[in-house]
Structure 1
Amino acid sequence: MSFYQNLEKIIECGDINKKFDMFYEIWNNKESLNFKTDKKPKLFEKPSYADFCEIVHPSRVPRRRGFDTNEKKAVLLHAIVHIEFSAIDLALDACYRFPNLPDEYYYDWLEVAEDEIRHFKMINTLLEKTGYKYGDFPVHNSLFEASQKTQDLLSRMAIIPRWYEAGGLDANEKIIKKLQKTKDPFAQEVIDALMIILKEEIPHVQKGDKWFKFECKRQNLEPIETYFKIVDNFFKDWKKKDLNVAARLKAGFTCKELKILNEKIEC
């Protein structure tokens, strides 16, 4: 079975343990993989978590309010674990969807997928400590829909890593600051996990930045102008208020870009 056939099976698999086992068979033999193919990728009809999660409109997802009961803790952790699980398939789809690129591209996104599996396991362990499990609350499929709408490398790298994952750098920092205000010992466990994730997500955005600029260069496009053109086409109201400036700069964003996102930013 080819690299791409294996990826297809992993991406579609809704059995979490089986999915991870299949991934590690590839990961542990990545040096011998053949990334060349003439097969066209398929468009996936549904996300793999549809097998065990109720998918609803984002407005119907439970709101994260407080941290003083197990249910409130679970709502927060469930939202994070869902993002991490979604990110696994997004990283694998980045490999699957865009064939015949430099080998480094596939190693980069397989590495991201491996990170996301570890992140998922960390947060899922904390979620289960609250007495809940992944799938106990409804979820939205915005990230899956974004992947469906970004079927070329340029828009995929712009929207998934450089928009959504970069937004995760901002959100992670805000959650940590809120949790630091509570005296619940469990909050510190969550903070410790989020700090690891924040540190390791910066290189994920860096990889998106690298391959976005790679494709800009191939198409002879100016990166900043191209990025915001794609963002303008994808979102109606995209301007952000709060940015994790330090993390975004490390991830490859320029000060000019950050000032476009928020004119009050100083960098």
Structure 2
Amino acid sequence: MEFFSETRAALLESDPRKKGALVEQLYTNLKQNKLTFDHDAPVSLFEQPSYAPIVQIVRPRDVPKRRHFDNREGQGILLHAIAHIEYSAIDLALDSAYRFRHMPREYYRDWIEVADDEVRHFRMLEELMKKAGVRYGDYPVHTALFDAGKKSGKDILERMAVIPRYLEANGLDANPKIIRKLRNSPPDAMLDAIAEALEVILEEEVVHVAKGDRWFKYVCAQRGIDPSVYFEIIERFYPGMEKRHPQLNIEARRAAGFACEELKRMGAEKCE
């Protein structure tokens, strides 16, 4: 079995159950050294997300708003939105492993491990969606994460900056806010279960961002570039976003590899 062809097969699969099984088998085979690596094999470009056949795709502004968590419909919308992020994260991790060649073996293991984690997150949310009477695909979704992956797919330095170090790191800031809102709501078993799931995801996403930080800095070192180029990259992709980081999760970002000088440049008043 060849690593890149197996990764491509998992990436293209749209059925969540089949995709999860393919990722698990891929990760198992990788850990057991059952895969060969043909770094010179052609790289396919993906023009549409793998989930396109099973969901309705709309503009971001047309996605149902996550506002009311005190009823099953609001909870279902929240769970569906987070599940879509996790599904998209599976593909982004697979794509990062598939697209970029001639990296150390640890690079590929890191991103397949991330994909395996995201599969577990998706399944955890899927179980909660069932309790809320919702299935993945019941609500429309947007392609913002897929689009970001596509735009950052030409250069591994840009990919590591944009996806794990920017977008996923932003999730480290946003996740605690949702958890607090859920915990501050009137007692509800479903809200408690959602909060617990988000706490698991938050803890493990710190590790995912740290992997992106590791490989971002690895490529910077290989090219003789100062890691501060991160801000130039983000400004190029998201103009004006450098300091738009309200309520930074300093602890999580520090654990993921961000330096205090970076966080202060993003607007942090205190950092140790």
- Letter of the 1:127 counterpart: M
- 1:8 alignment counterpart: 8
Q: For residue 185 of structure 1, report the CA deviation from its aligned partner.
A: 2.0
Distance in 2 of aligned mates of 1:117 and 1:149: 24
Match of 1:4, as an amino acid?
Answer: F
- 1:263, 1:187 → 2: CA distance? 31
The percent identity for this pair of structures is 47
Show CA shifts across 1:27-66 (max 9, x none): 2111222234202311101101111111111111111111
Hey, what does 1:203 align to over in structure 2? 207
Contact 1:112 1:204 in 2 (8 A): yes
Whole-angstrom distance in 2 between the partners of 1:220 and 1:67? 48
C-alpha deviation, 1:266, in angstroms: 4.1
Counterpart code for 2:9: K
- Tell me the CA shift for residue 230 of structure 1: 0.0
Report if aligned partners of 2:248, 2:268 keep a CA contact under 8 Å in 1: no
Partner of 1:172: 175
Q: Residues of 1 paired with 2:197 and 2:126: CA distance?
A: 11
Partner of 1:64: 66
Amino acid at match of 2:180: K
Quote the offset at 1:265 in angstroms: 4.4
Q: Which residue of 2 aligns with 1:27?
A: 27
When the two chains are superposed, the root-mean-square deviation of aligned CA atoms in Å is: 1.2
The answer for the alignment partner of 1:220 in structure 2 is 224
What is the alpha-carbon distance in structure 2 between the residues aligned to residue 200 and residue 181 of structure 1?
23
1:262 Cα deviation (Å)?
1.4
Q: Whole-Å Cα distance in 1 between the matches of residues 40 and 159 of structure 2?
A: 20
**Amino acid in the other structure paired with 1:155:** E
Residue in structure 2 matched with residue 247 of structure 1 by the alignment: 252
Q: Partner residue of 1:262?
A: 267
Q: Would the aligned equivalents of 1:240 and 1:262 in 2 still touch at CA under 8 Å?
A: yes
Gaps of 5+ in 1: none
| Corresponding position of 1:159 | 162
The TM-score normalised by the length of structure 2 is 0.95
What CA distance in whole angstroms lies between the structure 2 residues aligned with 1:35 and 1:109? 15
Other structure's SS at 2:141 match: coil
The 8 Å contact of residues 35 and 103 in structure 1, kept in 2 or not, is answered as: no
Match of 2:46 in 1: 44
Which deviates more from structure 2 when the two are superposed, residues 54-63 or residues 204-213? 54-63
Alignment match, 1:125: 127
Deviates more, 1:147-156 or 1:25-34: 25-34
Separation of aligned partners in 2, 1:99 and 1:48: 22
Deviations 1:159-211 (A, max 9, x none): 00001110111111110011111122211111111111111111100000000
Local SS of the residue matching 1:223: coil
TM-score (norm 1): 0.96
